[in-house]
Structure 1
Amino acid sequence: MMTRILIVRTSSLGDLVHMLPAISDIARHVAGAQIDWIAEESFAEIPAWHPAVHEVIPVAHRRWRKHWWDPQTRQERAALRLLLAGRRYDVILDMQALLKSVWLVRQAHGRRHGLDWKSAREPLASLFYDVRHRVEFWQPAIIRQRTLAAAAFGYALQGPPDFGLQAITDGVEIQPVALIMPSASRDDKLWPTEHWQRVFDHLQGQGLGLRLLAGNEAEQARAQALIQGRNQAEVLPKLGLRQVADHLAQARLMVGLDSGLTHLSAGLGRPTIGIYKASTPVRTPLQGSAYTASLGERGQEPDAGRVIAAIDEALSTACDPLGQASGCP
């Protein structure tokens, strides 16, 4: 018997990555689960990578809110409303618990589940659910999402997180390169140039080339300045999400600021070191099947020595899970 499920979690990139293990859990424990997922159009690729997701329904909150009453926006919102009106779900699970996600939940037909008043980031959202679940707030996001899904579907949470990204990583040959994410959405997350230079020296001393990720012209300029004068170092052009995921899957390890792409690297099972400066790893630590280190804290950035020590531990802990890492000791 089929169980039709609608997941509501629209953004952002890192949050969608954190959702993937909960989808694996649902698929494992709910017989006949057919999972649809509403996600922001910019990140709709990520849910589509999971083999248990039947359909991704894109929304465009980030674009719509700038032009809410424009004819095109109104037409797109009407099309979404019509699509949802024509479907009936057994379970609608709001994994975001925000008023903007409730707006979507209210348009869908089925039994609505979400967080209770004390658990939701925006408590008013809890008033719109048929079933409310208590999930402790101050715990890692992946555990929080998996716990909510387990409560909604009545199974016991168990085992390590499975991100369901094997289609991207299976059979990939690991290359002797380190992927670097030196940019972030906010300047207060940036790490000093002298720290990056010490880390780059160490990585290249370990025989690793450097590939830096950059998403816009400002990030490109910053990344080029960081590697100026270095051989075996390049700034990758702006890439689509799947292209970035392919580069991450091939890397020996990844070092990045607290960003969605750093969390994607961990989810892909690559050794990953995350640098936290303006955010806390308490709620969003890196988690994955390979070595991860979430270094620093809000207002307390890690120094280069601490990051280098984590790199050494990552390189010595294990080879690629498939034993394919180039230059693996």
Structure 2
Amino acid sequence: MKDYKNILIIKMSSLGDVLHALPTLYALRKNCPQARIVWAVHQNFSAVLPGKPYIDDVIYIDKKKLKSFSYLRGLRKKLHDYHFDLCLDLQGLAKSAIVAWCSGAKEKYGYWEMREGSFLVSKGLAGTHQYDHVIERYLDTVRVLGGRVDEIAFPLPSIEKEKGIMKERFRALGLTGPYIAVVPGARWSVKEWPLPYWTEFLRRVTASGMGAVILGSADDTVKGQVISRDAETGIYDFTGKTSLRELMAAISSSRLYISADTGPLHIANALKKELIALFGPTCPDRTGPYGGPDSSYIHMIISPTSQATPDHPLVNDPECMSQITVDTVWHTYIQAIKKVNG
């Protein structure tokens, strides 16, 4: 790989997608230890990005202003001041193509799925993992450029402070023992496991003596209230009550994480937390939890009616997730907890 001096990574959203790009950041730093690496991102997803030695600077992109000439002029000047010799557009959309164009980088590349005309700005690089998991597709950009990829690693920011904060918050509510972390929501409602299923499952969990912490964004607040209201004691609802790093800390300190296909699932994966992933309308072969060969911490449950393929989700199958039974998740949970407890 060339001895690049100034590198721009463009991956602005969403939460899961940003996390999927972290192994590429890790590989770039390993191959270019002296380079200045800058990441362009939407500010609300920046909390999962690490600082030095992996990232030297972060540039926040306001997607609502990308059509403003004055904003683009300022962005272009800001980016040109870095004198980028390499730009990696891992978003592959029109909005990221604008940022790549503004970068002034001598070499502009992306992974092979360059959409919405982004291929007119950055050259898509297709490697041997062209049809594999998206993490491998991103890593192919490093491989094609001559870099080595020896492992799947997720560099993350320190969350020690947030772990202490969450421990005190849990203690104040009476949660001092082990717990599992669950997220009932998802960006698409079709990907969500039904709330009555969550309620019944968590009844069994708490009856066994394990605590349960419900996590999620403010959009998941009603779901958390319904589950915690209908279930019994031992359930602690923190939906809409944590920052992104506090959510990371709560997941990190849990015994086990469970959710459908949603951003926090990929946080759990990046933390290499023992997890159970529920998939129906989307295909885990492309965007599910992934850690390379060393990913025995992942327990996958796929709807028996699911016929989703890596690039064709079943967005019009609202009954897909209801085919995953409480008994199925419970039996998987028992096996996973036995593994965690040794």
Q: Choose the corresponding residue for 1:164, options 155, 175, 184.
A: 155
In the other structure, the counterpart of 2:282 is 279
* 1:55/1:290 CA distance change after superposition, 3 Å: farther
In the other structure, the counterpart of 1:317 is 339
Shift of 1:183: 0.9
Counting only pairs closer than 5 Å after superposition, residues 119-158 of structure 1 correspond to structure 2 as 119-122=112-115, 124-129=117-122, 131-135=123-127, 136-152=129-145, 154-158=146-150
Query: Which residue identity does 1:308 align to in structure 2?
Result: W
User: 1:267-301: CA deviations, max 9, x gaps?
Assistant: 11211112223322121111245611232244443
* 1:196/1:32 CA distance change after superposition, 3 Å: same
> Distance in 1 between the 2:296 and 2:22 partners?
16
Query: Which residue identity does 1:246 align to in structure 2?
Result: A
**5+ long unaligned stretches in structure 2:** 168-176, 307-313
Counting only pairs closer than 5 Å after superposition, residues 65-84 of structure 1 correspond to structure 2 as 68=67, 76-84=71-79
In the other structure, the counterpart of 1:293 is 299
> Distance in 2 between the 1:249 and 1:38 partners?
26
Secondary structure in 2 matching 1:201 = helix
Determine if contact 2:16/2:262 at 8 Å carries over to the other structure.
yes
Counting only pairs closer than 5 Å after superposition, residues 296-307 of structure 1 correspond to structure 2 as 296=302, 297=306, 298=314, 299=317, 300-301=320-321, 302-307=324-329
Tell which deviates more after alignment, 137-146 or 296-305: 296-305
Query: Which residue identity does 1:277 align to in structure 2?
Result: G
Determine if contact 1:50/1:164 at 8 Å carries over to the other structure.
no
Query: Which residue identity does 2:225 align to in structure 1?
Result: Q
Determine if contact 2:154/2:270 at 8 Å carries over to the other structure.
yes
Of all paired residues, the percent bearing the same amino acid is: 21
Counting only pairs closer than 5 Å after superposition, residues 91-240 of structure 1 correspond to structure 2 as 91-115=86-110, 119-122=112-115, 124-129=117-122, 131-135=123-127, 136-152=129-145, 154-159=146-151, 161-165=152-156, 167-168=158-159, 176-216=178-218, 219-228=220-229, 229-236=231-238, 237-240=240-243
Query: Which residue identity does 1:186 align to in structure 2?
Result: W
Query: Which residue identity does 1:133 align to in structure 2?
Result: L
* 1:123/1:148 CA distance change after superposition, 3 Å: farther
User: 1:235-281: CA deviations, max 9, x gaps?
Assistant: 11432111111111111111112111111111112111122233221
User: 1:24-77: CA deviations, max 9, x gaps?
Assistant: 11111223122100011111222245741111111121x437xx55xxxx6544
Query: Which residue identity does 2:58 align to in structure 1?
Result: V
> Distance in 2 between the 1:242 and 1:37 partners?
18
**5+ long unaligned stretches in structure 1:** 319-327
Query: Which residue identity does 2:220 align to in structure 1?
Result: E
Shift of 1:12: 0.6
Query: Which residue identity does 1:259 align to in structure 2?
Result: T
> Distance in 1 between the 2:301 and 2:160 partners?
25
* 1:206/1:169 CA distance change after superposition, 3 Å: farther
Q: Choose the corresponding residue for 1:12, options 11, 14, 18.
A: 14
Query: Which residue identity does 1:262 align to in structure 2?
Result: L
Coordinate RMSD, CA, aligned: 2.7
Determine if contact 1:11/1:39 at 8 Å carries over to the other structure.
yes
Say how many residue pairs are matched.
Answer: 307
Determine if contact 2:93/2:115 at 8 Å carries over to the other structure.
yes
Normalising by structure 2, we get a TM-score of 0.81
Runs of 4+ in 1 over 6 A off after TM superposition: none
Q: Choose the corresponding residue for 2:253, options 224, 244, 250.
A: 250
User: 1:113-134: CA deviations, max 9, x gaps?
Assistant: 3247xx32417322223x5411
Determine if contact 1:248/1:265 at 8 Å carries over to the other structure.
yes
* 1:187/1:31 CA distance change after superposition, 3 Å: closer
Counting only pairs closer than 5 Å after superposition, residues 53-72 of structure 1 correspond to structure 2 as 53-61=55-63, 63-64=64-65, 68=67
> Distance in 2 between the 1:115 and 1:48 partners?
22
* 1:144/1:132 CA distance change after superposition, 3 Å: closer
> Distance in 2 between the 1:96 and 1:36 partners?
15
Determine if contact 2:206/2:232 at 8 Å carries over to the other structure.
no
Query: Which residue identity does 1:84 align to in structure 2?
Result: L
Determine if contact 2:258/2:277 at 8 Å carries over to the other structure.
yes
